[in-house]
Amino acid sequence: MASINDYAQQLTELRPKLITFTMLQIPDRNYAEDLVQDAIIAAIESIEKYEGKAAFDTWVYSILKFKLIDHIRQKKREQDHFASDEQETDIDGFFDKKAHWNPDDAPQQWHNPAELHLRTHFWEVFDFCLLHLPTSTARVFALRELMEMDTDEICECLAISEQNCWTILHRARLKLRSCLERGWFLKEGEST
C-alpha cells in the first residue's frame, strides 16, 4: 500500500490537471481552484476508502466529477450565456464539395483500440486533443462523455436546444477522432 507521502505527491502532481479539467466547466480560475481544493480535501478525508481498484488519479477525478456535476446542477439557472463557437469548430474541411471525405481526412484503420483505456499515455493524447477543441465544444463533450450527463440535462443546464447540442457533439467527435488518429493511432502504427 502506498504511503501518505506517495499520495500527497500524487495529489500535488495531479492538481494542475484537475484545475484545467475544471476550468472547462468553470472558467473562473479562483472558483475552479477552490472546487479542486474541495475535491482534494474530500479525497484525503476518504483515503481509507480508496481500495486501489481504480487507478489513483481516476479515483480522484471521479470525486472531482461529482463535485462539478453538483456545481453545474445548482448553478444551472445562473449560467453565463453559452457562447457557441461555431466557426472555430467548422468540420467542413474534412469533406469535399459533395460532402464526401477528403482523402487526407478519411478515417484510417485503428489497431487494437480495445485495451486503450488501460494506457495512461493514450489518455494524455486524449486530454491534449480535448483541450484543443474550442472551449464551448470541449465543455459540452466533457459533460456528455466524461461526466456522463444525458443531452436533456446538458441542454437544460446550458440553455441550448437539443438540436444545437447534437450539432456541437457531432463537431466535437469528428475533431477529436481526427486528432486521436493523428496523435496516437498513426504513430502507434509506425512504431509497430
Partner 1 sequence: MKSCKKATYLMSKQLDAQLGFSEKLSLKIHLMMCGNCHRCNKQLQTVHHLCAQRSTDLPNSSDKA
Instruction: List residues near partner 1 by CB under 8 A.
Output: 52-56, 58, 61-62, 65, 91-92, 94-95, 98-101, 106-110, 113, 116-121, 123, 126, 144-146, 148, 150-151, 162, 165-167, 169-170, 173-174, 176-177, 180-181
All 3 cell numbers of residue 3? 504511503
Judged by CB, which is closer to partner 1: 7, or 95? Answer: 95
Q: Which of 29, 170 has the CB closer to partner 1?
A: 170
Shortest gap between Cβ of 111 and partner 1 (angstroms)? 11
From CA 69, how far away is CA 88, in angstroms rounded?
Answer: 27
Using the minimum distance from each CB to partner 1, give the nearer residue, 139 or 144: 144
CB of 162 to partner 1, least distance (A): 8
Residue number with CB closer to partner 1 (61 or 136): 61
- As beta bridge partners, residue 95 has 101
Of 46 and 58, the one with the shorter C-beta distance to partner 1 is 58
CB of 175 to partner 1, least distance (A): 11
> Least CB distance from residue 180 to partner 1, whole Å?
7
Residue 37 beta carbon to partner 1: minimum distance, rounded to whole angstroms? 22
Q: State the Cα–Cα distance between residues 154 and 145, nearest whole angstrom.
A: 11
